[in-house]
């Protein structure tokens, strides 16, 4: 895409001494008030260089660049140089870029030669894959797609919670009340019932907790009975998880969970000792982080068993050796902020300069109207139930609208699941929210179905043009001057911003930047659609409007794809 800020800078640098084109481009801004132009250049910083008042500098620069074909109009306003881009030049450059790049529009080679690891989803084995997991899952998947789109090699890791004291509890619970037939018939709900019962029974029988500790210690030693039971529970849980991932069209390059690092922890603990970082505290081995304003990092508990910080240390070191990442991203809830501060600080103290490349992408918590999610209390909403309900709700709506019966199943799935994902990615990730069915499945307003419908509308316009006029998408014979109307031009400007929006989303680790932008594109197209008749008899005008329709469709499709949402051709 033509970088108009850079183009402006290349013109201005010829008349400004003491500043580079890059420095000038960094100062060029887009005015909030559209009547002030497409771009503005503040002249305050030039006062010392040119020894003149900023308004006078703005007036002189306006005179010097006014003749460029890049501009329709240039005018000084106080200390600002306001520039109105030549609309036809701008429109032509933008549409040609979109329609030549198509599904790659907005992509770049920014990350060429660099590897990014994204760890996300990471549900706990033998526990529900519930609505609380959806944020890490869809945020992580979107970040994977965004970084991949920008040319990075991305490794997707599902760091399964398949180890720890919880497994001691699950093994103990299964031995007391478990049935293989029950588990295989409905793994997660059955195992959840065992887990909830364990906590209820343990309140009155402390011996159960000790039994669980012993079971986990045996698992860490690699004792056969516990290891075989653990493997079976893990396999049964994964069958359930994969069904949900298939619904979301999500996959991973690695399913290596916490257990994968169990044999790698001793070397890490030994290295901590060798570097003089371990101290004993009440029988536990810790790294004292008080000098850095953090609580002590526990490495092994008093009974000698590990905790997930130990496993995360081993995982980070393994990943650096295996993938030589330039960035390792952890998409984990804000509840774990302290954990990641400890993890990154311990790695730094161990002398790993790459600790600076570790990033915790946190997000707000999901709660239910009746309170916070709690596996122990059995207060959860299964993610699979949410997705299935969304699909059924959508099916009812499309039946009411009389959609072609052959398309109902496909449309219901695409739009229903898309609505849930879009809802999760529509607001800043750091915000807490309460999960409410009526909001998640609301298809009105600035929602996923609205954006998907706009894409389908674009597709319908293009089909109708082909059927009625035999039109194909071509610049030949198109009169782009008709796209200088307010609705058309503002839509082109939104499309033009898309590549920069993708980079901003990556920089901020914030998929909602893309979500908000494609809402703006969809609204812009719908305004254009309602304000102007597209399928007019005049071929030159019609072809230009079809070019803008096709560019809108491509932009919306690419934006939805980066969010992990499909763009239907018909709705």
301 is catalytic: no
| Closest among 348, 342, 420 to 387, alpha carbons compared | 420
- Measured distance CA(469)–CA(464) in Å, rounded: 8
What's the CA angle centered on 519, arms 569 and 383, to 5 degrees?
Answer: 75
- Spell out the SS3 assignment of 48-98: HHHCCCHHHHHHHHHHHHCCCCCEEEEEEECCEEEEEECHHHHHHHHHHHH
In whole angstroms, give the CA distance from residue 157 to residue 252: 6
If residue 118 lies in a helix (H) or strand (E), which one and from where to where? strand 115-119
Is 422 buried (19+), middle (13-18) or exposed (0-12) by CB count in 10 A?
buried
Q: How far is CA 23 from CA 16, 44, 105, in A?
A: 11, 14, 27
Instruction: Give dist(CA 551, CA 174) in Å, integer.
Output: 57
Q: Is the dihedral of CA 268, 274, 279, 282 positive or negative?
A: positive
Question: Alpha-carbon distance 158 to 276, whole Å?
Answer: 32
Closest CA to 475 of 383, 400, 558, 546: 546
The number of helices, as runs of H, and strands, as runs of E, in the chain is: 22, 13
DSSP state letter for 379: B
Q: Could you tell me if 379 and 369 are in contact, meaning their C-beta atoms sit under 8 angstroms apart? A: no
Q: Is 360 a catalytic residue?
A: no
DSSP lists the bridge partners of residue 60 as none
d(CA 324, CA 330): 16
Number of Cβ within a 10 Å radius of residue 328: 23
Read off the DSSP letter of residue 405: G
Residues 293 and 350: their CA atoms lie apart, in Å, by 18
* Closest to 215 measured CA to CA, from 194, 233, 231, 229: 229
**Does residue 533 have an active-site annotation?**
no
Given 130, 159, 169, 360, the catalytic residue: 130
Residues in the chain: 571
Residues with a known catalytic role:
127, 130, 133
């Amino acid at each position: 895409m033509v970088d108009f800020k850079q183009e402006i800078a290349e013109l201005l640098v010829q008349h400004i001494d003491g500043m580079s084109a890059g420095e000038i481009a960094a100062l060029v801004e887009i005015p909030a008030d559209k009547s002030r132009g497409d771009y503005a250049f503040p002249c305050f910083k030039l006062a010392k260089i040119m020894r003149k008042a900023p308004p006078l500098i703005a007036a002189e620069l306006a005179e010097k660049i006014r003749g460029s074909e890049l501009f329709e109009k240039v005018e000084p306003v106080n200390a600002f140089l306001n520039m109105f881009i030549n609309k036809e030049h701008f429109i032509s450059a933008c549409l040609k870029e979109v329609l030549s790049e198509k599904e790659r529009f907005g992509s770049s080679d920014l990350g060429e030669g660099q590897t990014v690891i994204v760890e996300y989803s990471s549900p706990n084995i033998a526990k529900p894959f519930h609505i609380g997991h959806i944020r890490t899952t869809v945020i992580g998947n979107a970040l994977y797609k965004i970084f991949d789109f920008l040319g990075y090699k991305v490794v997707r890791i599902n760091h399964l919670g398949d180890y720890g004291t919880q497994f001691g509890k699950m093994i103990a619970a299964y031995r007391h009340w478990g049935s293989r037939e029950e588990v295989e018939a409905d793994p997660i709900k059955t195992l959840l019932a065992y887990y909830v019962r364990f906590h209820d029974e343990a309140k009155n029988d402390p011996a159960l907790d000790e039994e669980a500790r012993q079971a986990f210690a045996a698992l860490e030693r690699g004792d056969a009975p516990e290891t075989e039971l653990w493997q079976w529970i893990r396999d049964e849980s994964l069958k359930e998880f994969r069904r949900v991932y298939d619904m979301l069209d999500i996959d991973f390059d690695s399913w290596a969970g916490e257990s994968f690092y169990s044999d790698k922890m001793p070397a890490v603990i030994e290295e901590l000792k060798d570097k003089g970082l371990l101290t004993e505290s009440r029988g536990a081995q810790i790294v004292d982080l008080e000098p850095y304003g953090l609580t002590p990092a526990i490495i092994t508990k008093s009974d000698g068993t590990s905790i997930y910080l130990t496993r995360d240390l081993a995982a980070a070191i393994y990943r650096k050796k295996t993938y030589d990442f330039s960035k390792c991203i952890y998409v984990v809830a804000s509840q774990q902020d302290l954990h990641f501060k400890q993890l990154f600080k311990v790695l730094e103290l161990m002398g790993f300069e790459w600790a600076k490349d570790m990033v915790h992408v946190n997000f707000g918590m999901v709660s239910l109207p009746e309170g916070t999610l709690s596996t122990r209390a059995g207060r959860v909403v299964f993610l699979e139930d949410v997705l299935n309900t969304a699909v059924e709700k959508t099916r009812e709506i499309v039946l009411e609208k009389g959609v072609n019966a052959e398309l109902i199943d496909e449309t219901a799935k695409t739009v229903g699941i898309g609505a849930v994902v879009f809802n999760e990615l529509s607001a800043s990730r750091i915000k807490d929210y309460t999960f409410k069915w009526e909001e998640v499945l609301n298809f009105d307003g600035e929602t996923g179905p609205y954006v998907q419908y706009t894409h389908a509308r674009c597709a319908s316009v293009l089909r109708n043009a082909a059927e009625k006029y035999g039109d194909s998408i071509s610049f030949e014979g198109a009169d782009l001057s008709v796209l200088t109307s307010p609705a058309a031009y503002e839509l082109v400007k939104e499309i033009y911003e898309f590549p920069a929006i993708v980079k901003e989303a990556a920089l901020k680790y914030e998929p909602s930047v893309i979500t908000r932008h494609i809402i703006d594109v969809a609204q812009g197209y719908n305004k254009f659609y309602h304000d102007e008749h597209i399928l007019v008899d005049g071929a030159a005008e019609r072809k230009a409007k079809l070019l803008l329709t096709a560019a809108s469709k491509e932009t919306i499709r690419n934006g939805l794809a980066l969010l992990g949402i499909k763009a239907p051709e018909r709705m």
